[in-house]
């Protein structure tokens, strides 16, 4: 099986390890991974801030990059949701403004083949045990777009529960938004920070070594808040956990000690 | 142009996207929701009614037609009721055993007069098991809306099984829209302070429902 | 906080102030979490919830798509049943009508049932100017009125107050409005409710005019429905001689049968009960029972403008249950007042900018008062896709476009104050559409990464005040791929194989 990796702009520029983990994981599962270089951003930041027309060239670019593939896999719940929920809206609005139906057709083609990583693993590859080994205490935060727009349900949890060595700790108030919300984080910084602080308090309270999500954008916010507080909990994308094996030498060495390791109430959880 | 015409013209302009041929009842409404939640025997439906009434702090009693007068007399006595307002069509024998003074409701009785009355006894139009609701429709055995509102103690008689339905969708066809209806589910309550539920505000603070078998 | 929403600052500023108010935060967290869990349990009791929700949305859509028809039908039915129907294009007109109707009774006091529509139009203030005193009779509205405060929640307007604050307000203020608070009043909710009962009883028993809103109006039969808990609604709807109901035109439902859906959806979503304690329905007037004069004031006030927007229209399905407020993480931290209208929370963030337009600073900031987490849409009993409408309204704010205001179609200019953002978004859009340039930029960032500051100046502070900036990696994914698997890598591998031979 051959799939195209839609790595997303944030992962490309800031979290390449996540993309590398997806490549390693899928190849280990016998999938051939391509990275169409023409890909770029899905357009979510523009669209969600109100710049719909500025999003359209990115929709077309997505189409050019991925039109020849049967499966597009992305390690981002919110970018997958952008394609699946919002591309059709962009197409419909363009058509209603009398600017042709091609964006609608592009969206119709993109929607059924775009998968968030855990969806692809569970629904297409039909695996929940990917042979991963990750001997750490982890808590899982279901990100809003994964949870409510894509309806990922328990897929990420099922994958994590089958990781050897991993102890999964329940996150209280897991389904509450972390407060990132794209440009919300800078347009309403006080509320965003207050939400982030509550999320981080819950994360630290689990005693986990790492907090995991299906989205690095939320992790930038959660991890940035954790780091500012000097908390020794490390943000890690689920792909990096699923890519880890006993044999893996590179990839995530989680967790490295934070700046003030051990000063926050997580006794016994750090190696 | 009158404001009526202004508003209606605005509505019509706003709906320019609705196709001309589409009629008011054309937009589809899926009604595949349940008419009743689960299946129950008549006896189970009555049990559920009793359970849900009690869950919202109504006091539930059961008796048969022969036992009703004595039960009503006892319940009124227990509350120390000296005066009882009576709807015009309440069966006479219901209150045959009470010592309390019976006051017929008249159009002349003012809210202040009603405020001085201890209790009210009524029948009902229908009762809904799934929600623990009794519905009054101002029929002869229920009287004007105000008599079940101002006195602090309401005794409501439900004839079972005839007046009991399972669900809200089963209740509405049995009610006449042109009658003033009062749906009652437990005594008055408020959650306005810290969303903490407190029973007993402006309506009767004690609601007793008597399920009377044939 | 007092009496008016006018001149309130944009959402981010008011919300920021709320996040620093620890008592407000504690009150809101306690209350919203309590009701949130109860609602989930009440909804879980019904297996067919999703189907009821779909039916509720469809009934409202049917009504909205033929609102003219259903309004005329409603008017006929109400009139035939002995009511008088008045039409108000805006708030001022509605206030003038109600003031005139009250004056015609010769009364100078009215009792009121909690009504979102009358808050929206500022009826109490308009009546006060005409020398008419309006008594709010819902417990929470009473707390707000006595405290010279503003409602901050649709269902529980005094949700921002805790029991000890309420006790203080009752002790301080009740005497100047009527019966004083009982001696030795404690802060137990039961005692506070009892104090309100005693205080309001004399108002109910003497009132000659009642003012209400309505939860539903049945077009077919002319029946109005008020759903409540305390019995203050029944008092206002039953005891006065004259009843005036001010109702938004979108509260119409086509048929009596349609109530079977909403009387299941509303209580469970709102107070998380199987059924609220009291529901009153009335059709015109009834001889000898209840008010003998009934006026219905049908209110537009921006609703037809909202109706004209095919995306935003769905906001008019709202049945004011407040479930979206109770699950909203932004509402929980910002509080209701930050939304600057009687409609706070997610529904307010899409309703207020549509009813009032997006010209004002506050209104233009409301569509951004959301992280788009989608919890509101998930709980909405009539399936209003609030995130979709939020994004739609953001577009209206930054890009302008065709809108209807006061019934007139016009083309809106982009809002001021977004020029820098627009330029940045366009630049980002250009860069993302030119991966070569983007790649060069990423490489430059990687080479200079040791020089990057930990905290940003200017607008970037909004991020870096509370969060670390992400470190820029030495190599982008794109470069890694190119180096390890791209053409260069394959060429190198081929050369390696060649030389080994």
Place of tokens 């309390």: B100
Residue A95 confidence (pLDDT): 96
Q: Is C176 within 8 Å of chain B by CB? A: no
ipTM tops the 0.95 cut: yes
Is C309 part of any domain? no
Nearest to B14 among C140, C280, C404 (CB): C404
- Determine, yes or no, domain membership for B33: no
* Better-predicted residue by pLDDT, C391 or A247: C391
Specify whether A157 is located in the same domain as A192. Answer: yes
Domain boundary among C301, C332, C357: C301
pLDDT band at residue C364, thresholds of 50, 70 and 90? very high
Domain membership of residue C475 (yes or no) is yes
Place of tokens 């709102």: C270
- What integer best gives the mean pLDDT of chain A? 92
pLDDT tier, C448 (very low <50, low <70, confident <90, very high otherwise): confident
**Mean pLDDT over all residues of chain C?**
93
In a domain, C391, yes or no: no
Choose the final residue of a domain: C301, C321, C352: C301
Q: Is residue A129 part of a domain?
A: no
CA B163 to chain centre: 12
C-alpha dist (Å) from residue C334 to A271, C11, C377: 39, 9, 19
Q: Is residue A180 in some structural domain?
A: yes
- Evaluate whether B30 touches C86 at the Cβ level (below 8 Å): no
CB contact under 8 A, C473 and A17: yes
Mean pLDDT for the stretch of residues A41-69:
96
**Does residue B136 lie in a domain region?**
yes
- Three-class secondary structure assignment of C305-366: HHHCCCCHHHHHHCCCCCHHHHHCHHHHHHCHHHHCCCCCHHHHHHHHHHHHCCCCHHHHHH
Whether residues A225 and C467 touch (CB distance < 8 A) is answered with: yes
Mean pLDDT of C26-48: 94
Q: What is the mean pLDDT of residues C87-110?
A: 98
- Work out how many domains chain A is built from and give that number: 2
Task: Report the chain C residue with the minimal C-alpha distance to residue A60.
Answer: C433
Q: Are residues A26 and A94 in the same domain?
A: yes
pLDDT for the residue numbered C427: 80
| Residue span of the structural domain in which C473 resides | 434-500
Span A212-252, pLDDT tens digits: 999 999 999 999 999 999 999 999 999 999 999 998 744 44
Whole-angstrom distance, CA of residue C116 vs CA of residue C220: 24
Please, which pLDDT band fits residue C488 given cuts at 50, 70 and 90?
low
pLDDT at res. C497: 58
Residue predicted with more confidence, C338 or C439: C338
**Helices marked H in chain A:** 9-13, 16-28, 44-49, 52-66, 77-81, 87-96, 102-113, 117-119, 144, 155-161, 184-187, 189-205, 216-228, 238-243
Kindly tell me if the per-residue pLDDT of C5 is higher than 80.
no
- Which chains pack against B, by 3+ Cβ pairs within 8 A? C
Banded model confidence at residue C28, pLDDT cuts 50, 70, 90: very high
Widest distance between CA atoms in chain B: 69
* Distance in angstroms (rounded) separating the CA atoms of residues C423 and C443: 23
pLDDT at C307 over 80: yes
Q: Would you state the pLDDT for residue C465?
A: 87
pLDDT at residue C121, as a whole number: 97
Which pLDDT belongs to residue C496?
A: 65
Residue A263: per-residue pLDDT = 33
| pLDDT value of residue B66 | 96
Residue ranges, chain B, pLDDT below 70 = none
Neighbours of A248 (CB within 10 A): 16
Residue C498: the pLDDT is 52
C-facing residues of B in 70-99 (CB < 8 A) are none
Q: A100-119 pLDDT, tens per residue?
A: 999 999 999 999 999 999 99
CATH number of the domain where residue A225 is located: 3.40.50
- Given an 8 Å threshold on Cβ–Cβ distance, is B201 in contact with C230? yes
User: In the predicted model, is pLDDT for residue A266 greater than 70?
Assistant: no
Residues A29 and A96 in one domain: yes
Residues A6 and A55 in one domain: yes
| Residue A174 contacts C where some CB pair is shorter than 8 Å | no
- At C434 the pLDDT is 84
Say which range, A43-52, A255-264, C184-193, C424-433, has the weakest mean pLDDT. Answer: A255-264
The domain that contains B62 carries what CATH number?
Answer: 3.40.50.10420
What is the average per-residue pLDDT within C139-162? 94
Which of C242, C270, C301 is the last residue before a domain boundary?
A: C301
Domain count along chain C:
2
The yes-or-no verdict on residue C491 having pLDDT over 90 is no
User: Which are the contacts of C198, defined by CB distance < 8 A and separation ≥ 6?
Assistant: C179, C182
Q: What range does the domain containing A158 cover?
A: 137-243
User: Is the residue at B22 inside a domain?
Assistant: no
Residue B74's domain comprises 41-213
Taking phi first (over 0 means left), then psi (-120 to 50 degrees means alpha), and beta for anything else, what does residue C407 get? Answer: left
In chain B, the number of structural domains is: 1
Share of chain C above pLDDT 90, in %: 81
pLDDT of residue C4: 61
Q: Measured between CB atoms, which of C232, C271, C290 is closest to B145?
A: C290
Query: What is the share, in percent, of chain C residues with pLDDT greater than 70?
Result: 98
Q: Is the separation of the CB atoms in A235 and A15 below 8 Å?
A: no
Task: Kindly state whether residues C295 and C439 are assigned to the same domain.
Answer: no
pLDDT at A268: 34
| pLDDT band at C9; cut points 50, 70, 90 | confident
Rounded Cα gap, residues C169 and C164, in angstroms: 9
Does residue C496 belong to any structural domain of this protein? yes
Distance CA A178, CA A204 (A): 14
């Amino acid at each position: 099986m051959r799939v195209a990796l839609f790595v997303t702009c944030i992962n490309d520029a800031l979290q390449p390890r996540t993309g590398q983990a997806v490549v390693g994981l899928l190849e280990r599962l016998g999938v051939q991974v391509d990275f169409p270089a023409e890909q770029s951003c899905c357009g979510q930041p523009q669209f969600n801030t109100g710049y719909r027309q500025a999003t359209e060239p990115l929709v077309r670019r997505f189409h050019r990059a991925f039109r020849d593939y049967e499966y597009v896999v992305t390690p981002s719940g919110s970018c997958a949701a952008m394609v699946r929920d919002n591309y059709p809206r962009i197409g419909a609005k363009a058509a209603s403004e009398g600017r042709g139906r091609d964006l609608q057709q592009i969206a119709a083609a993109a929607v059924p083949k775009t998968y968030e990583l855990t969806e692809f693993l569970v629904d297409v590859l039909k695996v929940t045990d990917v042979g991963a080994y990750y001997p750490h205490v982890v808590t899982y935060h279901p990100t809003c777009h994964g949870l409510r727009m894509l309806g990922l349900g328990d897929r990420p949890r099922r994958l994590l529960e089958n990781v050897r060595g991993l102890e999964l700790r329940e996150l209280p108030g897991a389904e509450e938004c972390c407060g990132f919300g794209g440009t919300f984080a800078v347009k309403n910084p006080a509320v965003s920070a207050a939400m982030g602080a509550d999320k981080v308090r819950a994360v630290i309270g689990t005693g986990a070594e790492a907090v995991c999500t299906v989205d690095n954008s939320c992790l930038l916010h959660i991890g940035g808040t954790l780091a500012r507080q000097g908390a020794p909990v490390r943000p890690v994308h689920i792909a990096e956990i699923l890519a880890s094996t006993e044999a893996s030498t590179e990839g995530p060495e989680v967790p490295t000690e934070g700046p003030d390791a051990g000063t926050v109430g997580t006794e016994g959880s750090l190696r | 142009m009158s404001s009526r015409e202004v508003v209606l013209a605005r509505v019509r302009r706003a709906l320019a996207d609705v196709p001309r041929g589409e009629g008011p009842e054309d937009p589809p409404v899926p009604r595949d929701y349940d008419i009743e939640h689960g299946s129950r025997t008549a006896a189970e439906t009555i049990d559920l009614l009793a359970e849900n009434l009690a869950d919202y702090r109504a006091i539930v009693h059961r008796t048969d037609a022969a036992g009703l007068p004595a039960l009503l007399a006892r319940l009124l006595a227990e509350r120390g009721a000296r005066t009882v307002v009576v709807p015009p069509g309440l069966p006479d024998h219901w209150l045959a055993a009470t010592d309390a003074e019976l006051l017929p409701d008249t159009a002349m009785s003012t809210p202040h007069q009603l405020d001085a009355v201890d209790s009210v006894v009524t029948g009902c139009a229908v009762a809904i098991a799934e929600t623990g609701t009794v519905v009054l429709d101002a029929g002869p055995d229920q009287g004007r809306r105000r008599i079940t509102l101002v006195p602090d103690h309401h005794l409501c008689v439900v004839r079972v099984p005839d007046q009991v339905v399972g669900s809200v969708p089963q209740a509405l066809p049995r009610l006449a829209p042109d009658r003033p209806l009062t749906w009652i589910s437990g005594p008055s309550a408020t959650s306005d302070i810290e969303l903490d539920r407190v029973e007993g505000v402006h309506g009767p603070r004690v609601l007793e429902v008597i399920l009377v078998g044939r | 906080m007092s009496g008016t929403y006018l001149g309130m600052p944009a959402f981010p500023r008011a919300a920021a102030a709320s996040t620093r108010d620890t008592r407000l935060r504690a009150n809101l967290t306690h209350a919203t979490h309590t009701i949130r869990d109860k609602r989930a349990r009440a909804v879980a009791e019904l297996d067919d919830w999703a189907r009821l929700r779909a039916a509720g949305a469809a009934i409202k859509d049917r009504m909205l798509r033929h609102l003219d028809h259903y309004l005329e039908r409603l008017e006929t039915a109400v009139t035939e049943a002995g009511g008088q129907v008045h039409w108000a294009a805006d708030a001022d007109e509605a206030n003038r009508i109600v003031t005139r109707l009250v004056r015609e009774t010769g009364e100078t006091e009215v009792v009121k049932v909690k009504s979102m529509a009358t808050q929206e139009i500022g009826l109490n203030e308009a009546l006060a100017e005409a020398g008419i005193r309006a008594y709010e009779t819902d417990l929470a509205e009473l707390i707000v009125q006595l405290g010279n405060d503003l409602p901050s929640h649709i269902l529980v307007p005094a949700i921002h107050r805790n029991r000890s604050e309420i006790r203080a307000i009752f002790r301080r203020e009740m005497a100047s409005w009527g019966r004083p608070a009982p001696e030795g009043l404690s802060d137990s909710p039961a005692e506070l409710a009892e104090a309100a009962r005693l205080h309001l009883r004399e108002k109910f028993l003497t009132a000659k005019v009642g003012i209400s809103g309505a939860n539903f109006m049945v077009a077919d039969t002319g029946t109005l429905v008020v759903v409540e808990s305390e019995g203050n609604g029944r008092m206002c709807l039953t005891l006065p001689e004259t009843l005036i109901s001010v109702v938004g035109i979108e509260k119409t439902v086509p048929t009596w049968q349609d109530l079977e859906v909403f009387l299941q959806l509303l209580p469970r979503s709102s107070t998380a009960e199987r059924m609220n304690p009291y529901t009153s329905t009335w059709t015109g007037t009834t001889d000898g029972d209840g008010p003998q004069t009934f006026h219905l004031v049908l209110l537009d006030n921006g609703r037809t403008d909202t109706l004209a927007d095919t995306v935003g229209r769905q906001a008019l399905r709202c049945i004011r249950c407040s479930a979206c407020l109770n699950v909203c993480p932004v509402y929980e931290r910002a509080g209701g007042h930050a939304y600057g209208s009687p409609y706070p929370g997610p529904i307010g963030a899409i309703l207020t900018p549509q009813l009032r337009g997006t010209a004002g600073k506050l209104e233009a900031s409301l569509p951004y008062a959301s992280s788009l987490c989608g919890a509101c849409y998930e709980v909405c009993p009539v399936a209003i896709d609030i995130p979709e409408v939020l994004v739609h309204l953001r577009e209206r704010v930054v890009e302008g476009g065709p809108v209807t205001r006061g019934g007139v179609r016009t083309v809106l200019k982009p809002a001021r104050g977004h020029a820098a953002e627009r330029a940045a978004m366009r630049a980002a859009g250009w860069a993302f559409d030119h991966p070569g340039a983007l790649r060069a930029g990423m490489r430059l960032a990687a080479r200079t990464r040791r020089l990057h500051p930990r905290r940003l100046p200017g607008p970037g502070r909004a991020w870096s005040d509370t969060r670390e900036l992400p470190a820029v990696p030495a190599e982008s994914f794109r470069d890694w791929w190119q180096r390890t698997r791209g053409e260069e890598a394959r060429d190198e591998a081929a050369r390696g194989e060649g030389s080994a031979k």
